[in-house]
Structure 1
Amino acid sequence: MAIRRLLSLMLVADEAHPTGLPAYVVLLATIFIAVAVVALFRASFQQRRATSSPTVAVVVLGDLGRSPRMQNHAWCLAQAGYRVHLVGYDDTPCHPRILSDAGIHITPIPAPWVDRHRKKFPGALFLAFAAVKVVGQVWSLVRVVGWEVPGLKVIVQQNPPSIPSLPVLWAVSVVRGAALVVDWHNYGYSLLALGMQTRGAVGRGLVRVSAAVERLFGGLARASFCVSQAMQTDLSTRWSVRPPPIVLYDRPPDTFTPLPLSAKHDTLFRYLGQSLESSSPDADLQPGHHSAFADVLAEASGDEVAWPAGVDRSVREVSVLTAVECADRGRGRGRVVWREGRPALMVTSTSWTADEDFGLLLEALVKYDDAAERWGSRLPPVVVLITGKGPLKASWLRSASRHRFRGVHIRTVFAPAEDYPKLLGCADLGLCLHYSSSGLDLPMKAVDMLGCGLPILAHGFPTLAELLHEGHNALFFDDAASLATALTSVLEGFHDSPGGAPRLCRLRQCAAERRPGSWADEWNSKVKPLMETLMA
């Protein structure tokens, strides 16, 4: 069956999407990879498998710490009793529950050394850079997944990236007798197209190669998952993927939940201190401030706290948004309250890549700042907290620094995995700038925000309706003007009541009522039965 698909897909072009590639190119590449793997490792594979317990390799050709969905796969597999090797770049620490799970082994692959020398390959030399990088990645995947992972039974691969991971892992699965399962997050070729827009015919050729490889080897997988119903339909109809992918919606882990006011104060104080002047827009926030109430805040479950011994009962500790004050001096009881006239907090997370338009955000913030100046107290100041790191971050911050904002304050942070849900839980509003390169994926950041009960302003595209309900838990925008309009409409009258602006309150209530189910429930109902079959 695999051979028939290999031949048919190389000979038949996709009429709806002219991304065909000469058959001999794909065939030669396939033969080269497969023969190399077979020649080097076949005998050793058979011996190692016979002496090892069955293992699932969860593979990300990227930073493991910034791949939450694949971490979630690894965690659920381990909870189901399987031995798991989580394979990828070990740049950012994984979540503590991953690091502490005895059933999960972090198996790093080295990041391509050539990435450090990217600037030495300008213009047409980009092809040489890409070739050297791919060769190194091929070797790393073959060495680690093909040799170092013992008893390999199933490979669960994140896609994208597609090249070289799809053909290499397919070849490894054939040689080792393992099942390849592809988790489709998006299409690799559509993301590549964003970066190839200025490279003319060479860029278009690379996109065609990527699409052909992705279609060919993605269709050879034993099974697959995808993140939306729209993507399942596209994969099964346009690319004839069989069996049709299982729609596995992202769900927030249990750590993404609404926070009580006491926990908000502790988190905000640690990262922002007592005022915005305690931090700089030119550097990432660090959790360097220590609250005098940290111990009692950790034990509180709402807005009331015990007054700590040794702290004067006339003290009032403030963060940018909240304050702790003594409500009953006789009984030594305190409470956490919102600060009067506080700013609104809007949070967004990003990888700072081309599929998010931060130029649009900057233009919208300028418009909001102008509106706040005209409207006076009807609109609050806004703290925009941007989490994440990536290639476009420095240039955007330089652009933002040229604007003299009056009521907009931009701060950036790259928080450890255990603090990211807390920062989301402190916010009044979530912002999702993700615009799907394929039109078919769904942003996990929006899922995390829903888990924390946040209403969301989201860059709209059709598939997003599978996740967000406009006017209920989200408002959609498509340009800077509509984002600025949505932001002003949500925050108008923010200081009229302790709960915030009327429209924001309605959206927040709907967001709380429509919180998605758990990842564990989604995984256990859809993935666990498949894994039991593949591991049998």
Structure 2
Amino acid sequence: MGKRNRAAVVVLGDIGRSPRMQYHSLSLARQAHLNVDIVAYGGSEPHISVSEHQSIHIHKMPQWPTFPRNFPKILRPLFLILKPIFQFLVLLWYLCIKIPAPDCFIVQNPPSVPTLVAVKWASWLRHSAFIIDWHNFGYTLLALSLGRSSPFVSIYRWFENHYGKMAHGSLCVTKAMQHELSENWGIKYEHELDISKWPLFCMINLLNFSGLHHSRKSMMISKNLNEPYGLCDCISNGLLRADDNDPNLTPFTERVGTDIFLKENRPALIVSSTSWTPDEDFGILLEAALMYDRRVAALLGEDDSTGDEVVWEGIRDGKEFLYPRLLFIITGKGPEKEKYEQKIRKLNLRRVAFRTMWLSAEDYPVLLGSADLGVCLHTSSSGLDLPMKVVDMFGCGLPVCAVSYSCIKELVDVEKNGLLFSSSSELADELMMLFEGFPGRCDSLKSMRSNLMERVSSVRWATVWDENAKPLIHKVISERST
């Protein structure tokens, strides 16, 4: 059977929230010169480079409905059993009927059930190659809610293992996962695609982050700053109180004529992207923010009635020091968002403010490139995957403080591009250390950003994809077409 010059990218999830699969789609179209059919759910819009590419076609599947509020509890088990059956049939319909026959299917895992089963069946029926991009293990995510001893977790793992072995090629995000698949799952690699360390955003040229001006940041977020999670906070009641209607003043910049200047007393901007799920303990960040708030007050001998200034000065060991206010912007959607927003309202923070936002694929990297620090709370259900949000932050030249777990050092080089923490107290220590003297000093923060920008300028996704993914894809396609 001859080559069809087509590839299908399969995601049983929101394609707008699957950046790595969007990058694969762009590389397949641009570098492998293939027509690409993306089969996924709708929800969030993908990046404009994907949605407007002439060779990329997005097919949005219907989703299984959520529980109605008054749905009888006795029927919920039946509802949950029918869900994967519905998903399986919809997937088969799209992969076998709705889209043209591809040379290969590239599927994101997890979820594994029924995705791997459906894609394997479709690849057999359409004589196509079957490639899995392993982001994590699905059975470990299921175990977060059911427990490792659950028979459903064991069944799920069997499906993931059985159909994983049937793939004609595999890609994964870490060397630790590659070793696990090779040694314990019997899945061998001929090409390593360790693309987890590379600045993905640079591939699609979203911005020249080294030249990004903070005025863009100010315009983008200022409209949301007057919506505090309490009666008042240090942003709404301090910085913007007198300047709401002045277009030349923002919390971060001041415009004089045609020139825009960064304020010396601006708050530090910290970004954390989260899916608001149990594998990311957002409580750690809240506790660390509270500790920072109280520690600065204690150092300066202040009580809770003070704190109207933007930056506090003091003397410690004969040395002048400065600590800024901190503005945390939390991006993402997920089930636990409302719960934590309620907790934020009760904290009564004086020197720290929180805002939650959902940004478009175009605005998100603008925020990352404008921030002073990123925080990652991902802990990994398997201990073998890496948070792609950190990859995005690094691609924008943003240093990161990340939760420490088994293979995170494959990504975070401590004191070179970020720091690791295991508790809220450790994160608070790092915030105190990194932002002492902000914005003029902060040598550690500046050094890490400099290291990242040097790497961003020398490494691109396209190069790594060409060297690793492209040969594997061409190989499996050639084998299936002969």
TM-score range, shorter-chain basis?
A: 0.7 to 0.9
Query: Following superposition of structure 1 onto structure 2, how do residues 424-435 of structure 1 map, counting pairs within 5 Å?
Result: 424-435=368-379
Alpha-carbon contact 1:272-1:279 (below 8 Å) kept: no
User: In the alignment, which residue of structure 2 is the partner of 1:152?
Assistant: 102
Equivalence for 2:42: 90
Q: Could you tell me which of 73, 81, 104 is aligned with 1:131? A: 81
Q: Is 2:130 the partner of 1:180? A: yes
Q: Judging changes above 3 Å, is the alpha-carbon distance between structure 1 residues 262 and 478 closer, same or farther for their aligned structure 2 residues?
A: closer
- 1:225 counterpart (164, 171, 175): 171
- Pick from 301, 318, 324 the counterpart of residue 249 of structure 2: 318
- For 1:532, the aligned partner's letter is H
Distance in 2 (CA, whole Å) between partners of 1:484 and 1:105 is: 46
The one-letter amino acid paired with 1:235 is: L
Match of 2:58 in 1: 106
Within 5 Å, which residues of 2 pair with 1:283-432? 317-326=248-257, 334-376=258-300, 377=312, 378-432=322-376
Q: Does 1:509 align with 2:450?
A: yes
1:443 aligns with 2:390: no
Deviations 1:253-293 (A, max 9, x none): 224656367632123223214x94x34448xxxxxxxxxxx
Measure the CA separation in 2 of the matches of 1:508 and 1:105: 37
Counterpart in the other structure of 2:308: none
CA distance in 1: counterparts of 2:278 and 2:190, whole angstroms = 30
Q: 1:325 corresponds to which letter in structure 2?
A: V
Shift of residue 54, structure 1, vs aligned partner: 4.0
Q: Is the 8 A contact 2:209 2:397 kept in 1?
A: no
Q: CA deviation at 1:425?
A: 0.9
**What is the number of residues matched between the two proteins?**
437
Distance 1:379 1:119, change over 3 A: farther
Give the Å deviation of 1:524.
Answer: 1.1
Mapped partners of 2:97, 2:186: distance in 1 = 32
User: What is the distance in 1 between the residues matched to 2:447 and 2:9?
Assistant: 41
Structure 2 SS opposite 1:152? coil
Residue equivalent to 1:212: 158
SS in 1 for 2:278: coil
Q: Is the Cα contact below 8 Å between 1:232 and 1:244 reproduced in 2?
A: no
* Distance in 1, Cα, partners of 2:207 & 2:59: 30
TM-score (norm 1): 0.77
Asked if structure 1 preserves the Cα contact closer than 8 Å seen for 2:201 and 2:365, the reply is: no
Call closer, same or farther: CA 1:514–1:437 in 2, change over 3 Å: same
**Matches of 1:457 and 1:243 in 2, distance apart?**
32
- In the alignment, the residues of structure 1 paired with residue 194 and residue 167 of structure 2 have an alpha-carbon distance, to the nearest angstrom, of 17
Measured in 2, the distance between the counterparts of 1:347 and 1:522 equals 27
Instruction: Return the alpha-carbon distance in structure 2 between the equivalents of residues 53 and 240 of structure 1.
Output: 30
Residue 182 of structure 1 contacts residue 221 of structure 1 at CA under 8 Å; is this kept in 2? yes
Would you say 1:161 and 2:111 are equivalent positions? yes
Distance in 1 of aligned mates of 2:211 and 2:455: 21
**Corresponding residue for residue 237 of structure 2:** none
CA contact (8 A) 1:264 1:425 kept: no
Which of 484, 496, 499 aligns to 2:428? It is 484
Report if the CA contact (8 A) 1:157-1:183 is conserved: yes
Deviation at 1:349, TM superposition (A): 0.9
Q: Is the 8 A contact 2:7 2:106 kept in 1?
A: yes
Counterpart AA for 2:460: S
Instruction: Give CA deviations for 1:441-490 in whole Å, capped at 9, x if unaligned.
Output: 11111111111111110101131111111011111001111111111111
Paired residues for 1:240-279 under 5 Å? 240-243=186-189, 246-250=192-196, 251=198, 252-254=200-202, 255=205, 259=209, 263-273=213-223, 276=225, 278-279=226-227
1:59 aligns with 2:34: no
Aligned alpha-carbon RMSD (Å):
2.3
Corresponding letter in the other structure for 2:345: S
Q: Distance in 2 between matches of 1:137 and 1:316?
A: 50
Matches of 1:151 and 1:316 in 2, distance apart? 54
User: 8 Å contact 1:368–1:488 — kept in the other structure?
Assistant: yes
What does 1:14-29 correspond to in 2, within 5 Å? none
Q: Secondary structure at the match of 2:214?
A: helix
Find the aligned partners of 2:70 and 2:345 in 1 and give their Cα distance: 25
Task: Give matches, 1:452-463, under 5 Å.
Answer: 452-463=396-407
Take 1:120 and 1:365, find their aligned partners in 2: how far apart are those partners? 40
The offset of 1:125, in angstroms, is 5.4
Alpha-carbon distance between aligned partners in 2 of 1:281 and 1:482, rounded to the nearest angstrom: 25
Instruction: Assess if the C-alpha contact under 8 Å between 1:343 and 1:383 holds in 2.
Output: yes
Kindly state the Cα deviation for residue 148 of structure 1 after the two structures are TM-superposed.
Answer: 1.0
Larger Rg belongs to: 1
What are the Cα deviations for residues 346-395 of structure 1, in whole angstroms up to 9, with x where unaligned? Answer: 00111111211101111111111111222342321100001111111111
Partner of 1:523: 465
Identify unmatched segments of 5+ residues in structure 2: 231-245, 301-311, 313-321
**Residues 126 and 363 of structure 1: is their aligned pair in 2 closer, same or farther, counting only changes over 3 Å?**
farther
| Structure 1 position 152, deviation (Å) | 2.3
Distance 1:256 1:91 in 2: 21
Give the drift of 1:511: 2.6
Quote the residue 2:28 is aligned against.
77
Deviation, structure 1 residue 121: 6.1
Q: Judging changes above 3 Å, is the alpha-carbon distance between structure 1 residues 318 and 182 closer, same or farther for their aligned structure 2 residues? A: same
* TM-score, normalization by structure 2: 0.85
Answer yes or no: is the 8 Å Cα contact 2:212–2:369 preserved in 1.
no
8 Å contact from structure 1 (residues 351, 390) kept in 2: yes
Q: Following the alignment from structure 1 to structure 2, what is the Cα–Cα distance between the partners of residues 392 and 259?
A: 32
8 Å CA contact 1:261, 1:336 repeated in 2: no
Maintained 8 Å contact 1:256/1:448: no
Cα distance change of structure 1 residues 260 and 466 upon mapping to structure 2, 3 Å threshold:
closer
SS in 2 for 1:246: coil
Output one character per residue of 1:121-169: Cα deviation in whole Å (capped at 9) or x when no partner: 64x7553232121111011101101211112221100000001001121
Amino-acid identity (%): 36
Amino acid at match of 1:165: T
